[in-house]
Chain A
Amino acid sequence: MRCFIGIDLGSTTTKAVVMDENLQVMGRGITNSRSNYDTAAKVSKQEALIDTRLTLFRRGLGSVPEVTGKIDDILFDLERNFRHVQFLEQLEDLEQTCITNIKGPRFAGREKAVIEALEATFKRLRDHSASQFAPGVKRKSDFFRDLAGSDFMHLGEAVCKEMGLGFDLILNVYDKSIIEVENRPPSGDMEGKFIRALEKGSMANNLILKPVQDALAIPLEETYVVGTGYGRVRLPFPKEHIRSEILCHGLGAHMMYPDTRTVLDIGGQDTKGIQVDPVGIVENFQMNDRCAAGCGRYLGYIADEMNMGLHELGPLAMKSNKQVRINSTCTVFAGAELRDRLALGEKREDILAGLHRAIILRAMSILSRAGGVKDQFTFTGGVAKNEAAVRELRKLIKENYGDVTINIDPDSIYTGALGGATFAVRAVVN
Chain B
Amino acid sequence: MSAEAVKEASMEMQKKMIAKNYDAITSKHETGRKVASTFVPGNLNELLMCFDIVNNLPEINAIQAGMRKASGGYIMEAEKTGHSEDVCTYVKCDIGQMSKGNIAPNGKPYPNPDVLMLSYTGCYTFMKWFELLREQYKCPTLMLHVPYEGDGHSTKNMRDYLVKQLKEVVIPGLEQVSGVKFDIDRLRQYLRNSAKAEDDLVWCLEQGKKKPSPIDAYFGGVYYIGPIFTAFRGTEDAVGYYEMLRKEVQGRIENHQGPLTPEGTYFNDQKYRLVVEGPPNWTNFREFWKMFYDEGAVVVASSYTKVGGLYDQGFRHDPDNPLESLADYCLGCYTNLNLPTRVDLLAKYVEEYEADGLLINSIKSCNSFSAGQLMIMKEVERRTGKPGAFIETDLVDPRYFSAANVKNRLESYFQMIEQKRRGGGSKTVAA
Contacts and interface: CB of A to CB of B under 8 A. Distances in A.
B99 interface: no
A186 B138 CA distance: 72
Interface stretch (A34-42, A154-162, A240-248, A397-405): A240-248
Interface stretch (A274-282, A313-321, A322-330): A274-282
Contact of A283 (B364, B387, B430): B387
A286 B416 contact: no
Contacts of B81: none
A258 interface: yes
Given A281-B420, A289-B392, A290-B392, A244 B412 contact: yes
Contacts of A426: 425-426, 428
Interface string A155-171: 00000000000000000
A280 B429 contact: yes
Contacts of A410: none
A426 B430 CA distance: 13
A14 B411 CA distance: 20
A287 B400 CA distance: 15
B415 A243 contact: yes
Contact of B429 (A230, A290, A422): A422
A280 B415 contact: no
Contacts of A255: 429
Interface stretch (B26-34, B108-116, B402-410): B402-410
Interface residues of A, number: 32
B289 to A, nearest CB: 18
Contacts of B431: 254, 258-259, 278
User: Which of A277, A280, A281, A282 has the most CB atoms of chain B within a 10 A radius of its CB?
Assistant: A281
A258 B402 CA distance: 34
A150 interface: no
A219 B420 CA distance: 35
B402 A290 contact: yes
Interface string A264-284: 000000000000011111111
B419 A281 contact: yes
B69 interface: no
A429 interface: yes
Interface residues of B, number: 29
B425 A280 contact: yes
Contact of B412 (A277, A278, A285, A422): A285
B371 interface: no
A430 interface: yes
B424 A246 contact: no
User: Which of B392, B412, B428 has the most CB atoms of chain A within a 10 A radius of its CB?
Assistant: B412
Contacts of A289: 392, 402, 405
B411 A244 contact: yes
Contacts of A290: 364, 392, 400, 402, 405
B28 to A, nearest CB: 41
A23 interface: yes
Given A289-B405, A290-B402, A247 B429 contact: no
A430 B404 contact: no
Given A244-B415, A247-B415, A371-B378, A281 B425 contact: yes
A427 to B, nearest CB: 10
A279 B425 contact: yes
Contact of A247 (B381, B404, B412, B426): B412
Nearest to A429: B428
A244 B381 CA distance: 21
Contacts of B390: 286
A369 interface: yes
Main secondary structure of the interface of B (DSSP, over half): helix
User: Which of B415, B429, B430 has the most CB atoms of chain A within a 10 A radius of its CB?
Assistant: B429
Contacts of B424: 277-281
Nearest to A23: B428
Nearest to A283: B387
A247 B378 contact: no
A282 B412 contact: yes
A246 B392 contact: no
A230 B378 contact: no
User: Which of B378, B381, B431 has the most CB atoms of chain A within a 10 A radius of its CB?
Assistant: B431
Contacts of A430: 426-428
A282 B374 contact: no
A353 B290 CA distance: 44
Contact of A279 (B387, B409, B411, B429): B429
A246 B407 CA distance: 12
A255 B425 CA distance: 12
Interface string B371-403: 000100010010000011110100000001010
Contacts of B364: 290
A369 B374 contact: yes
A284 B387 contact: yes
Contacts of A245: 408, 412
A246 B404 contact: no
A100 B270 CA distance: 54
A429 B390 CA distance: 33
Contacts of A244: 408, 411-412, 415
B290 to A, nearest CB: 14
Contacts of B419: 247, 281-282
Contacts of A286: 390
A234 to B, nearest CB: 12
B400 A282 contact: no
Interface in A227-254: 230, 243-247, 251, 254
Contacts of A369: 374
User: Which of A246, A285, A289, A426 has the most CB atoms of chain B within a 10 A radius of its CB?
Assistant: A289
A299 to B, nearest CB: 21
B358 to A, nearest CB: 12
A70 B23 CA distance: 88
B409 A287 contact: yes
Interface in A3-42: 23
Nearest to A229: B408
Nearest to A292: B405
A85 B428 CA distance: 39
Interface of B: 364, 374, 378, 381, 387-390, 392, 400, 402, 404-405, 408-409, 411-412, 415-416, 419-420, 424-431
14 contacts: A243-B415, A246-B416, A254-B431, A258-B431, A259-B431, A279-B424, A279-B425, A280-B424, A280-B425, A283-B387, A285-B389, A287-B408, A371-B378, A430-B428
8 closest Cβ pairs, A-B complex: A258-B431, A279-B425, A244-B412, A246-B412, A281-B424, A430-B426, A279-B424, A281-B419
Given A281-B425, A286-B390, A430-B427, 12 more contacts: A23-B428, A230-B408, A244-B415, A247-B416, A247-B419, A251-B425, A255-B429, A277-B424, A278-B431, A284-B381, A284-B388, A287-B409
